[in-house]
Amino acid sequence: MTSAATRETPWRATQHRAPLLSVRDLVVHFPVRKSLFGRPRGVVRAVDGVSFDVFPGETLALVGESGCGKTTTGRAVLRLIEATSGSITFEGVDVRALGREPLRRLRRQMQIVFQDPYASLNPRMTVGAAIREGLIIHRLAEGAEAHARVRRLLDEVGLRAEHASRYPHELSGGQRQRVGIARALAVEPRFIVCDEPVSALDVSVQAQVVNLLQDLQRQRGLAYLFIAHDLSVVEHVADRIAVMYLGHIVETAPGRALYGEPLMPYTQALLSAVPVPDPTVRRARIVLAGDVPSPVDPPPGCVFNPRCHHPARDAACTKIAPPLEPKGRLSESGQDPDREHLVACIKQPPTRVSWEDQRAAGATQEPMLHQPGLRGR
């Protein structure tokens, strides 16, 4: 995986294009059941104020360790679960305000490919029936036309016509995920949440499924929110990347900027774990102390503070919630919405959290650029 292979959105006449999907301050809290003794245990702050855009035809990767809120974000966007607060706008439509029928119509535009293709398919339904379901629900085709469309979709995802009469248990994991993709495609969406679509697959077939998703994106002009738990899978897939930690987006940038100039200490640690194929390049592995804290009781201030390796980390990090703000070389050249490099860290300069405010919060260490050598270049 060389950086040359990183996808890059060309500097082009898309600078003022409107996002397909805009998410602002999305919060999803799950109430925790009362304990055995009846005391309320509070809420799981699964997603705690997340904002991002997805532009037409692009892939935004959402990356972070298990439990950081990726699936909850993806499902809340599609309203498979209801958000606690925040706004979700798809092509100018306020998704959270939609009633049942308009939401059903919108679902044609917004689909999901699930992490576990077996669990997401009905074991008693043939592949053909599973793919046809969406066509019928959305009244797109019936009878012979529906069967013909299913055959075309099977072909498009690399399966054969005879797979239509098979049941999910007769297929391999990779084939099942191809069925999951065909199901999503059947209704001709513009946007698909791909929730760790290859995590459950053998390494040998992961690349095939990723390539299929990329081919389909090019042919159909699809936009993806591509969820992954590490940075290695998305390097070749993503136009832009958003890194998530404990319910927050902590850094977002075009792929090249994020891999070349990671600035949030958590991103630096995630990236240090990505294997480098070139034996002449060394990368210092940053091992994070401790485990991810519970989202029931997240740390105050910067949620990453108990594990942070930044040399200027101090008491202010436990008091001030860092704003997601422009930093790095990209931000010096002025930013377009689809080329922003935003970082949540009050110790990586520049920051709009003034030194006076940091001092008032107990700071002893002035912000200083910290970029542990991640790539031998």
SS3 category, 247:
coil
Residue choice 21, 44, 181, 209 for contact with ligand ADP (CB under 6 A): 44
Torsion of CA 191, 343, 250, 313, to 10 degrees: 170
Judged by beta carbon distances under 5 to 8 A according to partner kind, the member of Mg ion, ligand SF4, ligand ADP, none in contact with residue 44 is ligand ADP
Task: Give the separation between CA 346 and CA 321, rounded to whole angstroms.
Answer: 9
Task: Give the separation between CA 109 and CA 104, rounded to whole angstroms.
Answer: 10
Task: Give the separation between CA 159 and CA 134, rounded to whole angstroms.
Answer: 18
- Per-residue contact string for residues 272-311; x = within reach of ligand ADP by CB under 6 A: -----------------------x----------------
Q: Which stretch binds ligand SF4 (CB under 6 A): 27-35, 123-131, 178-186, 311-319?
A: 311-319
Q: Which is nearer to ligand ADP, 180 or 295 (CB)?
A: 295
Judged by beta carbon distances under 5 to 8 A according to partner kind, the member of ligand ADP, ligand SF4, Mg ion, none in contact with residue 69 is ligand ADP
Judged by beta carbon distances under 5 to 8 A according to partner kind, the member of Mg ion, ligand ADP, ligand SF4, none in contact with residue 310 is ligand SF4
Instruction: Say whether residue 73 binds Mg ion (CB under 5 A).
Output: no
Judged by beta carbon distances under 5 to 8 A according to partner kind, the member of Mg ion, ligand SF4, ligand ADP, none in contact with residue 30 is ligand ADP
Composition of the chain by helix, strand, coil, percent to 5? 35, 20, 50
71 Cβ contact partners less than 8 Å away, ≥ 6 residues apart: 115, 195, 196, 227
Residue choice 2, 3, 15, 66 for contact with ligand ADP (CB under 6 A): 66
Q: Which is nearer to ligand ADP, 82 or 356 (CB)?
A: 82
Tell me the site size for ligand SF4, rule CB under 6 A. 13
15 Cβ contact partners less than 8 Å away, ≥ 6 residues apart: 336, 338, 339
- Dig out the tokens for 353 from the structure: 């959290």
Widest pairwise Cα distance in the chain: 73
Where does this chain bind ligand ADP (CB under 6 A)?
30, 44, 46, 64, 66-72, 295
